[in-house]
Structure 1
Amino acid sequence: MKAASVTPQSPIAFLAVALAFAINMMGTTLPTAIYRYYQLQYGFTPTIITVIYASYAIGVLSALLLVGNWSDQLGRRRMLLAGLFASAASALMFLLSDGLALLMLGRLLSGISAGIFTGTATVAVIELAPPAWRGKAMLAATASNMLGLGCGPLLSGILVELFPWPTRLPYAAHLALVGVAALVVLGVPETATIPARVKLGIQKISLPAEVRRAFIPAALAGFAGFVVVGFFAAVAPQLIRVVLGFHSGIVTGAIVFLLFACSALGQIVQTVIAARWRQAAGCVGLVVGLICVGLCVPERSLGALLLGTALAGIGQGISFRAGLGEIASAAPAHRRAEVTSSFFVVLYVAISLPVIGLGIAVQLADIQRATLLFVGLTIVLVLIALLLLMREQADTGQDAQAIGD
């Protein structure tokens, strides 16, 4: 491998990996503004579109479980390059696609690239952070993730609206960006201590008894938040076209970008909220945002959708970051990676199976009824998580009082 051109924990290396993180994640949401062209070109039903989208989650889960801890053995840089290779292969599959098979393979490879980056790039960004930036390193990692996810639909929306070849050009542009990211990663130093004898194994998934009480409400709130992410990435474009009458890819991409940008904002906002109220605040944001999304259907209101998107994004960001922090702090240090992986498994199941069900509902009924059903069920899920959080806090308060007595 190329020798490091910058010193460890330098601003250049830190920003370089954060940039590569965003570029890689951008590719995972790139098809959002392109799905309607696949429907027109191949005659796909809403169910098929959501299945194509959800095959991404299969790739993520496979990578998390199979290679989630390999960067400790092979090094961060090698695994980041492997993730970028999978992202480039995904873009090539989309460029060459002539039907369902290659589209699903492209999404699967995109999921594998995201699964590799989710853990490896997060750790690499934290390890490369200069000492003065260490307190913000986790925020930088999660923000790079979310902003990259948001930039994908925005980039593809602009390209499909203003230029020809809507099903090809966005992937060619992303392939070029992946090449830039690979060159950037080659220039950063290795932060992991690679053992003399490499031992590769499957990432363990487990839930110690001491973390279960914190895990269940956090996982429910996180699940609901990522169901919302799946809705906006796979189904919301159809809602925007059919119900609100906006056919511009730029409009669609901008609305989906708004969700992810507000998620990153929510992760910043949660730091100024008292720790015991963070997850509850995220749940409230999700509920109010979902109500506004539901109101945009009968009112046919773009304003209601924009407000709901912003509030749901902020709520999702708060609940995701707060839940992850709560679980990590409750887990034993030597099992923290296993517990965190379990949390991410729940989140990525949330952006696959429910979205497939929503696609079936759209096909059997219509987008309006399916959206209202989605809103209602997701609100119920968030309220259950909120009740569990309140009960856990009450129990914790009683335990503390008993100890004090």
Structure 2
Amino acid sequence: MKRPALIVATAIFLITHAGNLQVPLYNTYAQIAGFGSGISAVAFSTYVAGLLPTLILLGGISDRIGRKTTILASLLSASLATLLMIVYPTIYTLFVTRIFQGIAVGLITGTGTAYLSVLMPRSSAIVATYVSLTTSLGFSSGALFTNAALFYNNSLVPLSYWVIFILTLGCIGFAIAFLPEQPVSKSQLIRLPIFPDGTIPAGLAIALAWSLAGIVSIILPAQLVQYNLPNWSGPILFIFVIAGVLFQPLARKLKGTRSLQLGCILLVLGYIVFTFGAWLGILGLVLTGVALAGTACYGFTYLGGLAEVVRLSDSQSARAVSGYFVCAYLGYGLPVIFIGFFADRIGILNALLGFGAILFVSNILLAGMYQRANKKSA
């Protein structure tokens, strides 16, 4: 890999890694301030308030101001987010931090891919692999790194914060020195998402699937702590993401509707298993259920829904895919807020069971719909 490509891939990894760096300490920050799971969930979801406006309103910014400049802005936003938590490690700071993290990921998501595509114009498959690998490893390993740091030194500002902050600053230096700028254009800055006919069910499926990311990051670890189990948010999130990534090659071979149908079933099955494990305090069941749910969230449902949206959108695929990700990130951010506040009022298990009923009915209906679509096409 050439040096500029390595710098861009490193930037993608560090920015996505930093996005989940504070996850193991969410509930700790909230408890110190006198709050419960509800406020932790709101802080977690504030990420979407930075991410979605950036994706929608600034989707074409790298074409206007340059991709190098956009990558630097993304790295600066991520480093500022981490610095804030180093200086003021409180739940209040976390709200601002999450907005900056969302902006950073929103800026790097399309820009990093576009930059790598220019650097390797004849290697689109390799570019897709680099982006998929760096984002997956980044999102899954941030919380794991902090868990490992807390194991050696329990602190409100663990060593992981400092390490990632310094590495991000180093990446900024390398980007300034070695990353060549690319030509700018006067392309459209705002690219509003669209939802072509037939794509709404795929959007609903990915919203339901990605809603579990917040649950396994914030809600599930809080339940396990009640059984005197350590904070397993890092390992749980790592298993959740990596399980989906490992099944992506299989998901790519399946027809979109078939992959979505399988994802709906695995999502429900995984949710039942990890909720049952949380009820009994059996960590093995929790981890098994998280892995099953992860295969749907980042594997079958994710790729199947993406394939269906592209198939149904014709020449408007870019804006339709944007609409798909709007649904995904709304699912990622909103349900966990309601679950968090209900958990404070009626208990975590009751909140999980209530959401589980909605998840079960919705996914069974979607699986039935895709089964009919499979029969019709056959």
Using the size of structure 1 for normalisation, the TM-score is 0.85
TM-aligned CA distance change 1:299 to 1:41, over 3 Å: closer
Q: 1:274: how far off?
A: 4.5
> Which aligned pairs between 1:58-97 and structure 2 lie closer than 5 A?
58-97=49-88
Partner of 2:93: 102
CA contact (8 A) 1:285 1:316 kept: no
TM-aligned CA distance change 1:321 to 1:75, over 3 Å: farther
Partner of 1:380: 361
TM-aligned CA distance change 1:161 to 1:241, over 3 Å: same
Partner of 1:285: 266
> Which aligned pairs between 1:25-174 and structure 2 lie closer than 5 A?
25-97=16-88, 99-129=90-120, 131=122, 133-167=123-157, 169-174=159-164
Counterpart CA distance in 1 for 2:326 and 2:279 is 35
Which residue identity is paired with 2:302?
F
Which residue identity is paired with 2:194?
S
Partner of 1:221: 205
Partner of 2:238: 257
TM-aligned CA distance change 1:79 to 1:388, over 3 Å: farther
Counterpart CA distance in 2 for 1:13 and 1:261 is 27
Q: 1:54: how far off?
A: 1.0
CA contact (8 A) 1:288 1:312 kept: yes
> Which aligned pairs between 1:7-22 and structure 2 lie closer than 5 A?
10-22=1-13
Q: 1:387: how far off?
A: 2.5
CA contact (8 A) 2:27 2:37 kept: no
Q: 1:56: how far off?
A: 0.8
Instruction: Map Cα deviations across residues 186-232 of structure 1 (whole Å, 9 max, x no partner).
Output: 43444x5412xx4663221223xxx321x122112111111011211
Counterpart CA distance in 2 for 1:255 and 1:293 is 11
Q: 1:257: how far off?
A: 0.9
Which residue identity is paired with 1:331?
S
CA contact (8 A) 1:17 1:184 kept: no
Counterpart secondary structure, 2:103:
helix
307, 313, 316: which one pairs with 2:297? Answer: 316
Counterpart secondary structure, 2:361:
helix
Identity of aligned residues (%): 24
Which has the higher mean CA deviation after the structures are superposed, 308-317 or 296-305? 296-305
Q: 1:356: how far off?
A: 0.5
Which residue identity is paired with 1:350?
G
229, 232, 238: which one pairs with 1:246? Answer: 229
Counterpart CA distance in 2 for 1:280 and 1:143 is 25
Instruction: Map Cα deviations across residues 277-307 of structure 1 (whole Å, 9 max, x no partner).
Output: 2222222221221121122133322111111
CA contact (8 A) 2:257 2:370 kept: no
Paired residue total: 376
List gaps (5 residues or longer) in structure 1.
1-9, 398-405
Counterpart secondary structure, 1:202:
coil
Counterpart CA distance in 2 for 1:176 and 1:155 is 15
Counterpart CA distance in 2 for 1:151 and 1:40 is 24
Which residue identity is paired with 1:201?
L
Which residue identity is paired with 1:26?
H
TM-aligned CA distance change 1:15 to 1:393, over 3 Å: farther
358, 361, 380: which one pairs with 2:339? Answer: 358
Q: 1:313: how far off?
A: 0.8
CA contact (8 A) 2:194 2:323 kept: yes
Q: 1:234: how far off?
A: 2.1
CA contact (8 A) 1:266 1:316 kept: no
Partner of 2:197: 212
Counterpart CA distance in 1 for 2:48 and 2:112 is 18
Q: 1:26: how far off?
A: 0.9
205, 218, 228: which one pairs with 1:234? Answer: 218
CA contact (8 A) 2:47 2:102 kept: yes
CA contact (8 A) 1:223 1:346 kept: yes
Is 1:298 the counterpart of 2:279? The answer is: yes
Is 1:369 the counterpart of 2:353? The answer is: no
CA contact (8 A) 1:31 1:153 kept: yes
Instruction: Map Cα deviations across residues 114-143 of structure 1 (whole Å, 9 max, x no partner).
Output: 111222223334443473x43243243133
Partner of 1:7: none
Which has the higher mean CA deviation after the structures are superposed, 16-25 or 355-364? 16-25
Counterpart CA distance in 1 for 2:121 and 2:4 is 9
List gaps (5 residues or longer) in structure 2.
none
Q: 1:254: how far off?
A: 1.2
CA contact (8 A) 1:34 1:160 kept: no
Counterpart secondary structure, 1:236:
helix
